[in-house]
Copies of this chain bind each other. A is one copy, B any other.
């Protein structure tokens, strides 16, 4: 049993889809979330910059006495997980290995699609993890650089010609490759599930990296007897590097509940 909080971070709002999943699986846990809204997006930046920002994010979260850190960001998970694990003495959990394992187990044809940010696709991290479980699988990867700005501007609805056109362009090579499983490698993408599902067709199984990461983190805590006491009320405290009000307004879209009064500002470049 371990009553200490779990730290969770992302470049901005996307990681809240993972927070939602962790809350659903482990309602008694205390969660401390950091969203780097002053520097979002990460996915179009270079490896060095992503590593620098991720180190600062973890350094801030470690101000709290945490039992684990979940990287609720596809870009950081694919680009900086090894470095963060080496540099920190507590468990640092990403979304790649859990999502890659699930995709590799579920595919029937061995043809797996992967969508993510430019940094995620460039990293090759999913290909490596999938090959470990299923060496014969083929991964068809596609960067979707406009998905994050479109989601953050609320263009998520099926029928919107802008998101439909962009999604059709990005997904065409994956449809042509006849993948039967598609990894949503960025924690913003669950908000595009309806658009992606209608473009790919009902026969393609979607695997959400953020949800798989949450599930794997819950399993690890359970196995290592590090869950919060059963009667703990649980809670969520959020920190952001840009304005609190802007975050609070959009956060409900990702979380499904209101976080007003639970959000504070932090000067992330001091860490």
The chain A residues found within 8 Å of chain B, CB to CB, are: 37-39, 44-46, 48-49, 145-146, 149-150, 152-153, 155, 161-162, 165-166, 241-243, 246, 269
Contacts A/B (CB < 8 Å), 5 sampled:
A45-B243, A46-B246, A145-B153, A146-B155, A149-B149
The secondary structure that dominates the A interface is loop
Additional pairs, 4, CB under 8 Å, beyond known A37-B45, A39-B39, A46-B243 = A38-B49, A146-B149, A161-B161, A161-B165
Q: Copy number of this protein in the oligomer?
A: 2
Most buried by B among A152, A162, A166: A162
Min CB gap A122→B, angstroms: 11
Q: For residue A45, which residues in chain B have a CB less than 8 angstroms away from its CB?
A: 37-38, 242-243
Quick check: A49 and B162 within 8 Å, CB to CB? no
Q: Which residue of B lies closest to A155 (CB)?
A: B146
Q: For residue A39, which residues in chain B have a CB less than 8 angstroms away from its CB?
A: 38-39
Q: Which residue of B lies closest to A160 (CB)?
A: B165
Quick check: A46 and B146 within 8 Å, CB to CB? no
A38-B145 Cα distance, complex, nearest whole Å: 16
Q: For residue A146, which residues in chain B have a CB less than 8 angstroms away from its CB?
A: 149-150, 153, 155
Contact of A162 among B44, B165, B243, B269 (CB under 8 A): B165
